[in-house]
Amino acid sequence: MSEQVSTMASALPAAAFLVPFAAGAIVLSSRRLPSWFWQGVSVLASAVTLAAGVWMALATVQGIVLTGWGNELRVDALSALLVVVIGGVGFLACVYSLRYVLPGLRARVGAEAAQRRLPVFYGLLLWFIATMVWGCVTNNLIMLFVAVEATTLASGLLVAFYWDRRALEAGYKYLMLLTIGITFALLGCVLIYAQAAATGELGGGQALHISQVRRVAHLFPARTALLTVALLVIGFGTKAGIAPFHPWLPDAHAEAPTPISVLLSGVMIKMAVYALARTTSVFFPSWPQLTVFAVALGSFTMVLGIVVAFTQDDLKRLLAYSSVSQIGYVVAGVGLGTYLGCYGGLFHLVNHAVAKGLLFMCAGAVVYATGARRMSDLGGLASRMPVTSACFVVGALTIAGLPPLSGFMSKLTIYLALARAGLWWAVAIAVLASLLTLAVLVRAASAVFWGAPRAAVATLEAREVPLAMWGPMLILAGVSLLLGLYPRVVFPLVDGAARVLALIGR
């Protein structure tokens, strides 16, 4: 870590999460206004978050660290990267929701109740984005925990939003399991704080600041450090969907309204990985043996997720299990702790956010057009929904890691990093899981878009979805292609973020 970082006080870190938070409060308190008002405020506020993220990213790639509220908020390249991803996917999910949410809600609860519940959707959606950004910009250990738990609370009612049997069950499991899991992370954070304070090197409230704790972590007793890491892995790992703490994930990601699935699978689990990396990476320089554990955990997650995905008939559940598998790549890469591993892991984090957001949007488009989600009910949609099917293929090939798409670049980097660390077994597992991913997603694509149309569902009358839905899909597909052909576009930012995390061998 270079010690000569220049810090600069800035209002951007606070604005990035206070704007969507305030906008959410406005939407929730103005429920009598027409729906274009809530939707406009949502799109605008998420655009502001994206803009703040890009702005911060431009500053951090020049080696500047932005701080706010004393040292309570702190944005380095890693935080900026996450804010850009959250803002970008959040903005597109808001645009996508403009045409998606109301029809589905009307069909379930009737026109009048739908109109009443729509502002709740947008208000909570904005709070969900705000809490995720807050977690990524805070420099306070306990507030990091509070923010991660706040994302659960903001999204809990969104998961159960349709309020039918499946959604309620998913919502109950989601709130209960994540709250219990995250409590372990609280204990882990408190232990880090207690140990940092006990070293006597940090005065005042500095032991709460993650950037300060890093400097004294080598003084922690070894066994206490291991216990702390275990608690953090259980806590933030539950939130990130790392196996074996993943059972809530397919339920929640599949039952939530599609724009929320996009955010859950696309960015929320990444934000939990960020929290895990941020907190555990303080230990890596002193205890390099932790990295093998992280890689093993990641490999296990990769295989388990994709094997279960094979057995799914429900398109959204299949995608959710694939997310479990892909988060394994991110954990294996970042957990390796080397520069190359962190670069690959973080690059894959970006690519997966883009591609899985895209795939969930395509699945949502299929549901919007046909009302069906089970692959055995669907078929032959390619000619009727050309944009959706093309976007789905792009997303699937990105996730599977085929050139020239962006997933290829990041997965290749992770393979190389694992090989360089001498973990050949992990390379073999990662490649195998990628081949399985290709098989699962190609099979899904062919069943939904090319197989023979089934009579049971009205696939014959299906039409392409409106512009507000295929627009965001096309943008994400374009980003996926762009990052595959010109990875240099994001190189400075991902490079800066990897430098923040990678402390071994540098």
User: Given the rule CB under 8 A, which residues bind another protein?
Assistant: 140, 142-143, 145-146, 149-150, 152-153, 156-157, 160, 163-166, 168-173, 175-176, 179-180, 183, 186-187, 190-191, 193-195, 197-198, 205, 208, 220-221, 223-224, 227, 250-251, 254-255, 308, 311-312, 317
DSSP 264: I
Residues 345/334, Cβ–Cβ less than 8 Å: yes
> What tokens does 411 get?
């997965």
Residue (321 or 415) nearer to another protein, CB: 321
DSSP 466: P
| C-alpha–C-alpha distance, residues 424 and 462, integer Å | 47
Smallest distance from another protein to CB 323, Å: 15
| C-alpha–C-alpha distance, residues 101 and 105, integer Å | 6
Residue (37 or 172) nearer to another protein, CB: 172
> What tokens does 504 get?
């071994």
| C-alpha–C-alpha distance, residues 405 and 481, integer Å | 5
Smallest distance from another protein to CB 81, Å: 25
Burial profile 121-148: b = 16 or more Cβ within 10 angstroms, e = fewer: bbbbbbbbbbbbbbbbbbbbbebbbbbb
Residues 121/257, Cβ–Cβ less than 8 Å: yes
Q: Which residue has the tokens 């509220």?
A: 69
Task: For 4-15, give the DSSP string.
Answer: -PEEEE-SHHHH
| C-alpha–C-alpha distance, residues 90 and 75, integer Å | 19
DSSP E strands: which ranges in 69-166? 73-75
Residue (53 or 235) nearer to another protein, CB: 235
Residue (56 or 143) nearer to another protein, CB: 143
Smallest distance from another protein to CB 236, Å: 15
Residues 361/389, Cβ–Cβ less than 8 Å: no
Smallest distance from another protein to CB 116, Å: 16
Residue (46 or 152) nearer to another protein, CB: 152
Residue (195 or 338) nearer to another protein, CB: 195
Helix (H) or strand (E) holding 65: strand 64-68
Smallest distance from another protein to CB 207, Å: 8
| CA distances for 52 relative to 12, 211, 257, angstroms | 6, 22, 27
> What tokens does 46 get?
């998420």
Residue (121 or 145) nearer to another protein, CB: 145
Residue (143 or 269) nearer to another protein, CB: 143
Residue (308 or 436) nearer to another protein, CB: 308
Residue (152 or 281) nearer to another protein, CB: 152
| C-alpha–C-alpha distance, residues 334 and 348, integer Å | 10
Smallest distance from another protein to CB 180, Å: 6
Residues 168/160, Cβ–Cβ less than 8 Å: yes
Residue (87 or 104) nearer to another protein, CB: 104
Write the burial class of residue 45 (CB in 10 Å: 0-12 exposed, 13-18 middle, 19+ buried): buried
Smallest distance from another protein to CB 205, Å: 6
| Alpha helices (H) in 218-263, listed in sequence order | 222-240, 248-255, 258-263
| C-alpha–C-alpha distance, residues 191 and 178, integer Å | 20
Smallest distance from another protein to CB 131, Å: 11
Residue type, 196: A
| C-alpha–C-alpha distance, residues 179 and 104, integer Å | 29
3-state helix, strand, coil in the chain (%, to 5): 80, 5, 20
Smallest distance from another protein to CB 167, Å: 9
Residues 251/207, Cβ–Cβ less than 8 Å: no
Smallest distance from another protein to CB 178, Å: 9
| C-alpha–C-alpha distance, residues 498 and 340, integer Å | 8
Residue (223 or 488) nearer to another protein, CB: 223
CA neighbor of 213 nearest in space, from 136, 284, 274:
284
Smallest distance from another protein to CB 158, Å: 11
64-68/73-75 β-pairing: antiparallel
Smallest distance from another protein to CB 200, Å: 9
Smallest distance from another protein to CB 221, Å: 5
Residue (235 or 345) nearer to another protein, CB: 235
